Amino acid sequence: MRVAVYYNNRDVRIEERPLPEISGGELLVKVMASGICGSDVMEWYRVKKAPIVLGHEITGEVVEIGSGVDGFKKGDRVFVSHHVPCNTCHYCLNGHHTACETLHKTNYEPGGFSEYIRVPEINVERGVFLLPEEISYDVGTLIEPLACVIRGQRLAGLSPGQSVLVIGSGISGLLHIKLARATGAGSIVATDINDYRLQVARQFGADATLNVSEGSKDDLFRFNRGRPFDLVIVCAGVLSACTEAIESVDRGGTILFFAVPEPEIMVPLPLNDLWRHEITMRTSYGASPLDIEMAIELIRTRRVILEDMITHRLPLDEAGLGFQLVAEADKSIKVILKPHRDDNK
């Protein structure tokens, strides 16, 4: 079978690999669509693991079933989660599923940018979800990113009517805008340095936008009746975004660090001000099975509409172009790879 092997953002090679063999309790899934995540182009994180087959936002069709597998049959349309928690450790039992060691060690083989994947038994048990007929293979690639956003806003305690500032209008920032709008947020303001993305942010539900390379903090607050924001969501992994968040949160407000800078970058904190103003700082990583179930239901019922986020559909042979589009972060939103032709987008 063909796979797209990542060496760096400018070197993604199509190579041949043997079709994975499955054992008892496992599934073989034909990958129908696979999204390129912003984390896939984070070279500081990915290159040290290269060469590697990436891809963790996949939908597909069950083509082979190992002995002992219940609940699935050949031909089932599925979304497959790459990381799954144990559900029994201290962290899982306290609601921190994405801090579970098992979650960080699990994955499918060889990766979503391939024609087929082997789904290990633990993923079959805890990370394979039937894809409703209302959700296409292509839109299903957004289940995992939306689930991560659901988790972030839930942990941040977003309430109806609260003002929201989204710093960074890439795919995660735009998903935060869509979800916040769908769940009753008050004013939503988005920032970025890319005018195309700011235009899309307005189309997707932001009440106002600001290009931070041109505007000031006063301009930002003017969009929120002169006040800082109840919830500030950081979706840009740069130090300036962290600083902007700290300067933009209202007293009693919350900052959600959904994206963070590279590991060696330290963020200076005005701890005295945060203490006096009772600022809450939260982080959010990944998604739990519950978050995924919620994402599927929100998409199925069209509470959150995601079709308009897909800007590029490329065959697997053009994986290199897909990585360039995502890395350049110019006029693309969601880029997906299509290892097989299908009639159900």
Q: Identify the CATH number of the domain in which residue 134 sits.
A: 3.90.180.10
| Domain membership flag for residue 172 | yes
Say if residue 133 is in the same domain as residue 6: yes
Question: Helix H segments across the chain?
Answer: 43-46, 90-93, 101-105, 121-127, 137-140, 143-156, 171-182, 195-203, 217-222, 239-248, 271-276, 289-300, 319-328
- Spatial distance between the Cα atoms of 61 and 290, rounded to a whole number of angstroms: 22
Q: Is residue 233 part of a domain?
A: yes
The structure's pTM equals 0.96
pLDDT of residue 345: 54
Q: Is the pLDDT of residue 288 over 60?
A: yes
Report the distance separating Cα 180 and Cα 163, nearest Å.
10
Total number of domains in the chain:
2
> Looking at the structure, do residues 39 and 121 belong to the same domain, yes or no?
yes
Q: How far apart are CA 5 and CA 107, in angstroms?
A: 16
Instruction: Flag whether pLDDT at 342 surpasses 80.
Output: no
How many residues does this entry show for the chain? Answer: 345
Same structural domain for residues 135 and 23? yes
Whether residues 93 and 194 share a domain: the answer is: no
Assess if residue 35 is contained within a domain.
Answer: yes
In a domain, 117, yes or no: yes
> What is the rounded CA–CA span in Å between residue 82 and residue 144?
9
90 and 167 part of one domain: no
Same domain, 275 and 253: yes
Name every residue whose Cβ is closer than 8 Å to that of residue 345 and which is 6 or more positions away in sequence. 136, 137, 138, 313
343 in a domain, yes or no? no
pLDDT attached to residue 259: 96
Q: The domain that contains 267 carries what CATH number?
A: 3.40.50.720
pLDDT of amino acid 216: 82
The pLDDT, as a whole number, for residue 287 is 97
pLDDT at 44: 87
Give me the amino acid identity at 199: Q
pLDDT of residue 125: 96
Sign of CA dihedral 283, 289, 290, 294: positive
Q: What percent of the chain has pLDDT over 70?
A: 99
Given this model, what pLDDT does residue 69 score?
97
Residues 105 and 29 in one domain: yes
If asked whether residues 152 and 263 sit together in one domain, one would say yes
Per residue in 181-217, pLDDT tens?
Answer: 999 999 999 999 999 999 999 999 999 999 998 878 8
Average pLDDT, the chain: 96
pLDDT for 118 equals 98
274: domain range?
Answer: 147-283
Give the pLDDT confidence of 142-164 residue by residue, as tens digits: 999 999 999 999 999 999 999 99
pLDDT of the residue at 73:
97
What is the average pLDDT across 322-337? 95
Q: How crowded is residue 187: how many other Cβ atoms within 10 Å of its Cβ?
A: 18
- CA–CA gap between residue 309 and residue 189 (Å, rounded): 19
Confidence of residue 45 (pLDDT cuts 50, 70, 90): confident
pLDDT over threshold 90, residue 94: yes
Q: What mean pLDDT is predicted for residues 244-256?
A: 97
* C-alpha to C-alpha distance for 152 and 292, rounded to whole angstroms: 13
Question: Does residue 259 sit within a domain?
Answer: yes
Mean pLDDT, range 62-69, rounded to an integer: 97
Name the one residue in this structure whose structure tokens are 């890439």: 170
Do the beta carbons of residue 327 and residue 54 sit within 8 Å?
Answer: no
Query: At which residue do the structure tokens 């890395």 appear?
Result: 327
Question: Is 318 among the domain residues?
Answer: yes
For position 217, what pLDDT does the model report?
Answer: 82
pLDDT > 90? residue 95 = yes
Question: Are 331 and 196 contacting, i.e. CB atoms less than 8 angstroms apart?
Answer: yes
Same domain? For 169 and 233 the reply is yes
Overall average pLDDT of the 313-320 stretch: 97
